[in-house]
């Protein structure tokens, strides 16, 4: 099912558009419906209406995708899809089919790739890419707009963290055009990194994200912003450890910190989702910790070096 919306049409043109959508039926490969809110799969914009253009420019990018210019003449700005006034069924069908085809091409899977089953919230959010996603459980919800890099939620602080801890089957999940965005006046949009960090920390359930090499070496490229929840001692310990110069593997982290792998994986996923994790291939040669350093004659060292050498070897 796909949705078509409009901005700035006259009452007559809007009624004609709704009637044409109702009559498309078998002439389209997808079932199209008209809706008067956004986001939608296609948007008809009356570019002869200055107020409509101003409204359109204020909408987020996700609400302006697949915009169709509707005009008496050549529009004053670039839009690849156009319809001339008045509306005609054949031309409308042609442009909607073009949008269907473009979406199908984007959805073609890569040859030879094997998609693994999504079992955790962290993987589900990671695979969403740049779209809009709504996670709901009863009257509690989170809306993440990856294109705008923002999120809003009915919850905050520890309550938000608790919501993101639920098993994946307990959420009602909607994406793309099926998401009804709350009105701008009713919510406060925040930086998405805060919720992505919590998704990794709370929604990983011991499973690494598919895009993360389990045998890799990990390092933070900067200290994270934790958002609405105060970081635990475990998180702070791993932050301190992975901001050092040398990257570390999961086994090294377990040995150094004594932390369970469950917590380490949650931390790695959170850092990956927020874009602060550097990953080196597990094939990278690790330094040999047991190799003895070559002796350097103390006669060629300064006074302080001689003192350090004597302190390190008190019997000499």
- Rounded to the nearest integer, the mean pLDDT of the chain is 79
The pLDDT, as a whole number, for residue 74 is 65
pLDDT bracket for residue 196 (50, 70, 90):
very high
The pLDDT, as a whole number, for residue 52 is 87
The pTM for the full model equals: 0.55
The pLDDT, as a whole number, for residue 113 is 39
The pLDDT, as a whole number, for residue 203 is 92
Q: At what angle do helices 261-273 and 233-242 cross, to 10 degrees?
A: 70
Q: Between residues 164 and 99, which one has the greater pLDDT?
A: 164
CB of 96 within 8 A of CB of 28?
yes
The pLDDT, as a whole number, for residue 269 is 93
285 burial (CB, 10 Å; 0-12 / 13-18 / 19+) is: exposed
Asked whether the CA dihedral 135, 139, 145, 150 is positive or negative, the reply is negative
d(C-alpha 17, C-alpha 119), whole Å:
41
CB of 4 within 8 A of CB of 42?
yes
- Tell me the pLDDT tens digit for each residue of 28-85: 777 888 877 545 788 888 988 888 888 887 776 556 667 888 888 765 555 668 888 9
- Tell me the pLDDT tens digit for each residue of 279-288: 887 654 454 4
pLDDT bracket for residue 224 (50, 70, 90):
confident
pLDDT bracket for residue 289 (50, 70, 90):
very low
Q: What is the largest CA-CA distance in the chain?
A: 100
Q: At what angle do helices 250-257 and 233-242 cross, to 10 degrees?
A: 120
Please state which of the ranges 42-51, 72-81, 176-185, 210-219 shows the lowest mean pLDDT: 72-81
Distances (CA, A) of 201 to 47, 65, 130, 206, 302: 46, 32, 21, 10, 50
- Tell me the pLDDT tens digit for each residue of 93-138: 888 888 877 654 434 343 333 446 788 999 989 888 777 888 988 8
The pLDDT, as a whole number, for residue 230 is 81
d(C-alpha 3, C-alpha 244), whole Å:
50
- Tell me the pLDDT tens digit for each residue of 70-82: 888 765 555 668 8
| Element counts in the chain: helices (H) and strands (E) | 10, 12
The pLDDT, as a whole number, for residue 184 is 66
């Amino acid at each position: 099912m796909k949705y078509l919306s409009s901005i700035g049409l006259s009452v007559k043109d809007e009624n004609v558009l709704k009637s044409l959508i109702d009559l498309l039926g078998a002439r389209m490969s997808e079932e199209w419906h008209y809706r008067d809110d956004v986001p939608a799969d296609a948007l008809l914009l009356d570019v002869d209406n200055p107020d409509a253009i101003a409204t359109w420019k204020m909408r987020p990018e996700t609400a302006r995708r697949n915009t169709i210019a509707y005009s008496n003449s050549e529009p004053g700005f670039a839009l690849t899809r156009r319809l001339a006034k008045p509306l005609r069924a054949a031309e409308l069908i042609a442009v909607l089919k073009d949008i269907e085809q473009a979406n199908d091409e984007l959805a073609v899977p890569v040859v030879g790739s094997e998609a693994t089953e999504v079992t955790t919230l962290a993987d589900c959010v990671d695979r969403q890419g740049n779209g809009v996603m709504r996670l709901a459980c009863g009257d509690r919800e989170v809306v993440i707009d990856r294109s705008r890099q923002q999120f809003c939620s009915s919850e905050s602080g520890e309550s938000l963290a608790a919501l993101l801890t639920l098993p994946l089957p307990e959420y009602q999940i909607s994406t793309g055009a099926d998401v009804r965005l709350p009105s701008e006046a009713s919510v406060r949009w925040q930086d998405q990194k805060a919720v992505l960090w919590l998704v990794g920390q709370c929604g990983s359930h011991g499973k690494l994200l598919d895009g993360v090499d389990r045998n890799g070496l990990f390092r933070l490229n900067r200290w994270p912003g934790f958002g609405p929840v105060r970081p635990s001692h475990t998180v702070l310990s791993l932050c301190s450890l992975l901001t050092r110069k040398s990257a570390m593997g999961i086994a090294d982290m377990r040995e150094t910190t004594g932390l369970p792998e469950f917590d380490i994986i949650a931390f790695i996923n959170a850092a990956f989702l927020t874009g602060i994790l550097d990953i080196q291939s597990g094939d990278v040669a690790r330094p040999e910790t047991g190799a003895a350093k070559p002796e350097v004659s103390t006669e060629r060292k300064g006074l302080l070096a001689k003192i350090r050498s004597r302190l390190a070897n008190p019997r000499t």
